[in-house]
Amino acid sequence: MAHAGAPTRSRTRVVIAAIAGAVCGVAACYAYAYGSEIFSVSGGRRAKRVKENVSDEEATEEEEIEEAVVTAETAVISRAGAAATRRMREKTEETSGTARSEETRATRESTSSIDVKHTANATAVYESLEIAFAMGGLDASALTPRRFFSFGRWPEAGVWPRKYAELSMPLDCARLVIISLEDAPAIVAAVQGATRELIRLVGGKMDAFAPGRQELHVTLFHVSRTFEYVQAPATFAVENASGTTRTLPRTLPIENAIAFEESAIADAVKGCGTCELEVDRVCLAPSGCLLLCFKDVNGGSQVVRERLRDKVVGAATKQNDTLHCTLARLFPKTEDSQLDDTTVAAINVMCQKVTSSLRHARFTARNLTYVVEEHYGRTDGRRSRIML
């Protein structure tokens, strides 16, 4: 029996190894469903051997096989359980991360619709406008609509903006945050000379409107635009746990709504710091607007624009992509009126001379002005100074 048992035990080891390898490959598939049954296999088989009167040697071989199976299956179950735990943890982290990502995206999307471009790109825009006018003159499709202005005829003279009330538009349709040029008298004096020269050059072919020096300004932010009306007061973001917004009931009188908006904007820009502007050039755009163009020297204007974008979440979506002051607007006297090449060249030369005398001139704005326009394009309505 001893001689015959040696090869039997050798076969047993081979069988054990084979079974262990096979079990490792397939047991993971059944670990969750049948894990509780695996540990009952050994006891059941032993009871069967007693009943069937199996020999001790054969019983020993079967026990070794069964123990190997149980050991292998137990190891697989342990690994499967660890893997399941890891997958559950990863899924929980993924779900949590997705929730945070969705919350961040929702917050970002609440302000991303307000188109605030970076002031660092403004110089390229100025250059393109300057070249476009030099190459093609005025663009009839880009001119300011004449219906917003009154044109004097004898015995009257001149051009002046119309009131929004006359145009059947909301009285508060144009609400904006500006930098006034009242604190830059030397720059204003120089560019007003350019405005007078432009009006002389266009002669009898063009009507022209030039705002008074007290109205010259750089628009930083449109709360409500003439062509994109936002009812007062605009919706403002509130920094709290729920991330909600607040606004006044629409039934309140317009004066109360404007007062709320004015105060909320002052709170929003508090601590932004000064805005330092540097003259980049003076040019006539194809739209017929004579522009005094600025660079954002210290980035303060960009800070203000981004702060207002994030705070005044209900503001107009279209914002200026430059930092410019409109010095004058030209209007062809007739539909077929156009500037000849000689006049276009003379205007370009005039702009280059003014640019040479003013380039790199700087001024620092230490406050902003919240304005509700009464006339189109004029900052002559309600005004409120806001300290930065």
pLDDT digits 0-9 by tens, 89-137: 555 455 444 444 444 344 444 445 899 999 999 999 999 999 999 999 9
Q: Helical H runs in the chain?
A: 2-38, 41-52, 56-112, 122-136, 185-202, 254-269, 300-311, 341-358
Q: Report percent pLDDT > 90 for the chain.
A: 61
Buried b (16+ CB within 10 A) or exposed e, 25-62: eebeeebeeebeebeeeeeeeeeeeeeeeeeeeeeebb
The predicted-structure confidence for 286-343, as pLDDT tens digits, reads as follows: 999 999 999 999 999 999 999 999 999 999 999 999 999 999 999 999 877 889 999 9
CA-closest candidate to residue 67, choices 13, 113, 109: 13
The pLDDT assigned to 2 comes to 42
The pLDDT assigned to 244 comes to 65
The pLDDT assigned to 90 comes to 56
Tell me if 64 sits within 8 A of 71, measured CB to CB: no
